[in-house]
């Protein structure tokens, strides 16, 4: 296409030169003046010569046309075009009237002829390009009938994998069949499955070989695979330069993963200088694709589960529903509990919390709740019928019926649904005023779709006067509820400065948020499920891939798995720690305070790097000041107390300990012990000024570690106190005696009752 533009530009320059030649009437050409006798000019040339020049000009254009049609070689074309163009500029003369035509008319005819010629050239070039693409596709896939079958199987596999309810194993089976027939995209897909270990076992060498073969054919997915392997040091030695090369080639082929990887690298300055504009360009491309695929349901929820937080909280903190809990809700729903029916319907409609998308089951639960008169269920039934699904045919009439019922009950979801139907004329006459009214009602109740649609109307000026300020207001409200299109629209406005000052960093963050909600975010949940199933290496591979694409949660989780020695993909423990430090650093740069603390720990203990107390203190300080992290404050207090990486200062140590206790309830016990130790330290410092100072002239090793011994003694005393305060357990013999006495008393009571005797003995009369 660039060659085409150059040729067209060349023709236009030729035309421009002709125009200047016309304006240069009565002025001899500098070249001709050297060859002609004094006093003669090009104007003096005869009619025959001019006709010859016109014929030559037409021949020149025909030669140019033959070049584009592929009839001249490149060398012939370059030589001929350069010579003929110069000759055309020097000799062409339109200063005389010919064939009873004036100069402007002659020039107009020439321009029109050349315009038609250029249009014909462009049309033929487009046809040639189209044929080239078809030929390239035949070279990659192959022209034989077997590849036609492979293409059909591949398309069927993609249909299965893209369904709302995914049958992953069937999709894998079909993809494997297409790959065996040599289909390049199917081979790439299978290679990714082998590299990530999902849903097959890990086979890094096989994936590497496939990627190398397909990359030679220029397949973008294969370049993405090689870039990831070079970047993460899996299958190759780490080479960020080669990773950038392969990422760039994949991104040029419109690979979304590679575009995200490049966007993140330019945004964070990983291996390249920071460039907000480059990051904006890449992230906007991916965000646009994600936004175009958003459905009426808003898409599946993205669960960002941090493994480190689960360990710190001593149990699952992700909100993933346990199977027993799901069974309990299903039991309630089957018994007619409306709230359980609505809750399960929403979970199956949107997916998340460990439950996959399943609109068929959502329809079942919503129908049960709607029959009981629940307005929310009616509104969601309207959404399902409005958009349709894999096995549910869209039905505007039914959708309108359910939306109307819900809206009449004051439900904002139903009001927003009616607004959409009136806005787009789905099953009803298009009416922007009614749409605006229903959206406003829904937005007033805080419903995210109403806020989003109001923002769209004010942004586009549909039914209202265009107002970017109000559009920003409603988009911001919708973004607070996490609507992906609200983030995208705000990103567009920040990127170009509509209604506000342009802000490239803000636009990048918004587009990054949208891009990370693409279908590939499913790997977050897949990685977590692998982790819970003790498939740690498979979990690491998926987290490592998403780390390259800029997911902060994936970066911290990859570092966590390496930190706990759960992964055996690297040569030795030292390399694992270096890679873990790398992942913690990326996560910390995105604002995760626990990762910042981990960086401090690695520098403090010399894990994956040299011991550097000053650097450790710097990371602890950033975590405490920016994220108010209690662990970082406690660590800073200890370093102030011991004088590690900074001047010893007991007062600052106490201040840090107090801040840690105020920031977290969990820190109160260790802070209390640390403060007791500080108090004893104060006392000992005062004793050093008394005659008892000889006590401190003990062995240097003991004196330097006195605090550890003191903490040990305090712990022993505390344990002893708990032991002696425990409730006493009765002796087994005493228990037996007590049981016999109770049994005897019971027998006596039974005998008295049988003889009608009183069950108590009256005191004797005095």
User: For residue range 197-234, what is the model confidence (pLDDT) as tens digits?
Assistant: 988 889 999 999 999 999 999 999 999 999 999 999 99
When pLDDT is averaged across residues 372-399 and rounded to a whole number, the result is 91
- Residues 475-485: pLDDT tens digits? 999 999 989 99
- Residues 678-709: pLDDT tens digits? 877 777 766 666 655 555 555 445 555 656 66
Q: Do 87 and 157 belong to one domain?
A: no
Q: Which of the four pLDDT bands, split at 50, 70 and 90, describes residue 45?
A: very low
Q: What percent of the chain has pLDDT over 90?
A: 50
Query: Does a cis peptide bond (omega within 30 degrees of 0) precede residue 199?
Result: yes
- What integer pLDDT is reported at residue 753 of this predicted model? 52
Residue 14: inside a domain: yes
Q: Rounded distance, CA 329 to CA 344, Å?
A: 8
Residue pair 528/303 in contact (Cβ under 8 Å)? The answer is: yes
- What integer pLDDT is reported at residue 140 of this predicted model? 47
Q: Is the pLDDT of residue 103 over 60?
A: no
Residue 321: inside a domain: no
Question: HEC states along 139-154?
Answer: HHHCCCHHHHHHHHHH
Q: What is the tally of structural domains in the chain?
A: 3
When pLDDT is averaged across residues 287-310 and rounded to a whole number, the result is 83
Q: Do 131 and 199 belong to one domain?
A: no
Q: Which of the four pLDDT bands, split at 50, 70 and 90, describes residue 138?
A: very low
3-state SS assignment for residue 395: coil
Q: Do 6 and 128 belong to one domain?
A: yes
Q: Rounded distance, CA 527 to CA 305, Å?
A: 10
Residue 145: inside a domain: no
Q: Which of the four pLDDT bands, split at 50, 70 and 90, describes residue 282?
A: very high
382-405 burial, b for 16+ CB within 10 Å, e for fewer?
Answer: bbbbbeebeeeeebeebbbbbbbb
Q: Do 110 and 157 belong to one domain?
A: no
- Show which of 195, 224, 253 is a domain's final residue: 253
Q: Is the pLDDT of residue 46 over 50?
A: no
Q: Do 160 and 61 belong to one domain?
A: no
When pLDDT is averaged across residues 590-619 and rounded to a whole number, the result is 95
Q: Do 30 and 110 belong to one domain?
A: yes
When pLDDT is averaged across residues 319-348 and rounded to a whole number, the result is 86
Residue 394: inside a domain: no
Q: Do 69 and 161 belong to one domain?
A: no
- Show which of 76, 102, 136 is a domain's final residue: 136
Q: Do 115 and 155 belong to one domain?
A: no
Mean pLDDT, all residues of the chain: 79
CA 751 to chain centre: 82
Helix axes 74-91, 47-68, angle to 10 degrees: 150
Q: Do 129 and 6 belong to one domain?
A: yes
- What integer pLDDT is reported at residue 186 of this predicted model? 94
When pLDDT is averaged across residues 531-550 and rounded to a whole number, the result is 95
Which of 464, 510, 98, 498 lies closest to 286 in space, CA to CA?
A: 510
3-state SS assignment for residue 101: strand
Lowest-pLDDT range of 325-334, 374-383, 522-531, 597-606:
325-334
Q: Do 93 and 123 belong to one domain?
A: yes
Q: At 644, give phi and psi (nearest 5°).
A: -100, 115
Q: Which of the four pLDDT bands, split at 50, 70 and 90, describes residue 353?
A: confident
Residue pair 224/258 in contact (Cβ under 8 Å)? The answer is: yes
Q: Is the pLDDT of residue 23 over 70?
A: no
Q: Which of the four pLDDT bands, split at 50, 70 and 90, describes residue 165?
A: low
Residue 234: inside a domain: yes
Residue pair 541/195 in contact (Cβ under 8 Å)? The answer is: yes
- Which pTM was predicted? 0.72
Residue 531: inside a domain: no
Kindly report the number of other CB atoms within 10 A of residue 539's CB atom.
28
Residue pair 215/229 in contact (Cβ under 8 Å)? The answer is: no
- Residues 504-514: pLDDT tens digits? 999 999 999 99
Q: Do 22 and 124 belong to one domain?
A: yes
Residue 260: inside a domain: no
- Show which of 76, 105, 136 is a domain's final residue: 136
- What integer pLDDT is reported at residue 309 of this predicted model? 84
- In which domain, by residue range, is 173 found? 150-253
Q: What is the CATH number of the domain that holds 194?
A: 1.25.40.10
Which of 387, 353, 347, 381 lies closest to 367 in space, CA to CA?
A: 381
- What integer pLDDT is reported at residue 131 of this predicted model? 54
Residue 369: inside a domain: no
Q: Do 132 and 222 belong to one domain?
A: no
Q: Which residues contact 348 (CB under 8 A, 6 or more apart)?
A: 355, 357, 358, 359, 361, 362, 365
């Amino acid at each position: 296409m660039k060659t085409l533009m150059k040729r067209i530009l060349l023709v236009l320059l030729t035309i421009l030169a002709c125009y200047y030649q016309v304006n240069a009437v009565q002025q001899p050409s500098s070249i001709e003046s050297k060859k002609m006798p004094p006093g003669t000019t090009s104007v003096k040339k005869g009619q025959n010569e001019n006709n010859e020049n016109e014929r030559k000009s037409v021949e020149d254009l025909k030669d140019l046309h033959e070049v584009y049609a592929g009839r001249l070689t490149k060398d012939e074309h370059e030589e001929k075009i350069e010579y003929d163009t110069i000759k055309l500029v020097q000799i062409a003369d339109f200063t005389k009237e010919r064939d009873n035509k004036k100069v402007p008319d002659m020039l107009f005819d020439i321009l029109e002829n050349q315009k038609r010629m250029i249009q014909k050239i462009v049309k033929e070039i487009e046809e040639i390009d189209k044929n080239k693409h078809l030929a390239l596709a035949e070279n990659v896939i192959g022209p034989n009938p077997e590849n036609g079958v492979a293409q059909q199987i591949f398309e069927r596999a993609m249909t299965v994998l893209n369904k709302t309810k995914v049958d992953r194993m069937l999709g894998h089976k079909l993809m494997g069949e297409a790959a065996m027939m040599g289909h390049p995209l199917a081979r790439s897909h299978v290679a990714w499955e082998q590299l990530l270990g999902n849903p097959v076992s890990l086979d890094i060498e096989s994936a590497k070989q496939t990627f190398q073969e397909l990359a030679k054919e220029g397949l973008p997915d294969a370049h993405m695979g090689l870039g990831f392997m070079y970047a993460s040091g899996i299958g190759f030695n780490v080479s960020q330069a080669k990773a950038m090369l392969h990422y760039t080639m994949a991104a040029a082929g419109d690979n979304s993963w590679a575009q995200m990887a490049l966007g993140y690298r330019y945004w964070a300055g990983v291996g390249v200088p920071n460039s907000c504009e480059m990051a904006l360009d890449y992230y906007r491309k991916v965000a646009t694709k994600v936004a175009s695929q958003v459905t009426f349901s808003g898409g599946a929820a993205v669960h960002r589960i941090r493994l480190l937080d689960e360990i710190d909280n001593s149990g699952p903190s992700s909100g993933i529903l346990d199977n027993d809990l799901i069974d309990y809700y299903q039991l309630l729903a089957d018994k007619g509990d409306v709230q359980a029916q609505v809750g399960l319907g929403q979970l199956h409609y949107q997916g998340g919390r460990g439950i996959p998308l399943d609109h068929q089951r959502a329809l079942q639960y919503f129908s049960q709740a709607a029959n009981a008169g629940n307005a929310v269920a009616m509104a969601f039934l309207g959404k399902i019928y409005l958009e349709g699904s894999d096995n549910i045919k869209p039905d505007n009439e039914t959708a309108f019926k359910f939306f109307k019922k819900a809206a009449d009950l004051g439900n904002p979801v139903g009001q927003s649904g009616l607004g959409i139907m009136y806005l787009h004329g789905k099953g009803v006459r298009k009416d922007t005023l009614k749409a605006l009214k229903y959206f406003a009602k829904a937005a007033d109740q805080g419903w995210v779709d109403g806020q989003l649609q109001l923002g769209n109307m004010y942004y586009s000026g549909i039914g209202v006067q265009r107002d970017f300020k109000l559009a920003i207001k409603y988009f911001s409200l919708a973004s607070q509820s996490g609507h992906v299109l609200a983030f995208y629209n705000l990103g567009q406005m920040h990127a170009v400065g509509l209604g506000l000052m342009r802000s490239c960093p803000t636009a990048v963050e918004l587009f990054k948020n949208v891009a990370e909600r693409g279908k590939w975010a499913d790997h977050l949940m897949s990685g977590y499920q692998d982790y819970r199933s003790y498939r740690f290496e498979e979990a690491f591979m998926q987290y490592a891939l998403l780390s390259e694409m800029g997911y902060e949660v994936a970066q911290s989780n990859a570092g966590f798995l390496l930190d706990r020695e759960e992964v055996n993909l690297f040569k030795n423990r030292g390399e694992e720690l270096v890679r873990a430090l790398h992942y913690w650093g990326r996560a910390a740069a995105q604002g995760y305070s626990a990762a910042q603390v981990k960086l401090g720990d690695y520098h403090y203990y010399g894990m994956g790097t040299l011991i550097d107390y000053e650097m450790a203190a710097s990371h602890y300080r950033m975590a405490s000041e920016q994220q108010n992290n209690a662990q970082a404050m406690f660590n800073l207090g200890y370093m102030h107390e011991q004088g590690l990486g900074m001047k010893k200062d007991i007062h600052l140590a106490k201040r840090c300990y107090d801040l840690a206790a105020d920031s977290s309830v969990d820190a109160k016990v260790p802070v209390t012990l640390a403060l007791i130790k500080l108090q004893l330290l104060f006392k000992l410092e005062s004793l050093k000024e008394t005659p008892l100072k000889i006590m401190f002239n003990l062995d240097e090793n003991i004196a330097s570690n006195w605090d550890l011994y003191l903490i040990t003694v305090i712990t022993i005393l505390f344990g002893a106190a708990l032991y002696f305060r425990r409730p006493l357990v009765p002796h087994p013999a005493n228990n037996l005696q007590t049981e016999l006495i109770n049994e005897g008393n019971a027998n006596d009571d039974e005998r008295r009752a049988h003889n009608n005797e009183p069950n108590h003995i009256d005191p004797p009369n005095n």
